[in-house]
């Protein structure tokens, strides 16, 4: 597989992004409503939104995405970037697309002046952790969540 191009998602990517998004939701066993999916896509395309989406393209075909939220924080004056969703289609895995997406974000962190790029993953997900361990050491924080419903 050729070297991937990493770029911002464009309106023409909608159908492919939605297909990959479904794969990502299936991976996590979650059902995200059509309304929320549409809202997320709308925010991705909105330059005034804090939501970003980078896609990994090889030979005119998009095979993966990284959805991020850039937000303020209380520990630094600069914003930080939360990599919320990362997905590469099963047939394209193991060819460096996930690596290229994270590398792109790490470069963007420096270029944009984000204080940090961070993400969370399941502690027992050895597949993705092998990739992540190449970039940083897990810091040992544990996530707690209280849901409204």
Residues contributing to the site for ligand COA (CB under 6 A): 27, 86-88, 93-99, 121, 127-128, 130-131
Residues 14-47 as b/e (b if ≥16 CB within 10 A, e otherwise) read eebbeebbeebeeeeeeeeeeeeeeebbebbeee
Toward ligand COA, which CB reaches closer, 94 or 113? 94
Toward ligand COA, which CB reaches closer, 82 or 87? 87
Least distance from C-beta 47 to ligand COA, angstroms? 26
Toward ligand COA, which CB reaches closer, 73 or 121? 121
- Residue closest to ligand COA, measured at CB: 98
Toward ligand COA, which CB reaches closer, 42 or 122? 122
Least distance from C-beta 131 to ligand COA, angstroms? 4
Least distance from C-beta 111 to ligand COA, angstroms? 21
- Write the CA distances from 70 to 38, 75, 82, 109, 115, integer angstroms: 20, 15, 6, 10, 10
CA distance 80 to 69: 8
Least distance from C-beta 27 to ligand COA, angstroms? 5
Asked if 26 and 19 touch (Cβ cutoff 8 Å), the reply is: no
CA distance 41 to 31: 16
């Amino acid at each position: 597989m050729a070297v991937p191009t990493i770029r911002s998602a464009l309106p023409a990517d909608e159908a492919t992004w939605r297909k990959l998004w479904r794969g990502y939701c299936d991976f996590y066993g979650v059902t995200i409503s059509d309304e929320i999916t549409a809202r997320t896509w709308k925010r991705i395309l909105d330059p005034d939104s804090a939501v970003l989406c980078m896609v990994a393209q090889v030979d005119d075909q998009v095979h993966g995405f990284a959805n991020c939220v850039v937000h303020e924080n209380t520990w630094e004056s600069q914003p930080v970037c939360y990599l919320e969703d990362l997905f590469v289609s099963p047939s394209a895995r193991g060819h460096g697309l996930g690596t290229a997406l994270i590398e792109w974000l790490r470069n963007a962190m420096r270029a944009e002046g984000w204080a940090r790029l961070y993400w969370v993953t399941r502690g027992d997900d050895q597949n993705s952790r092998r990739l992540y361990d190449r970039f940083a050491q897990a810091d040992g924080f544990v996530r707690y969540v209280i849901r409204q419903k």
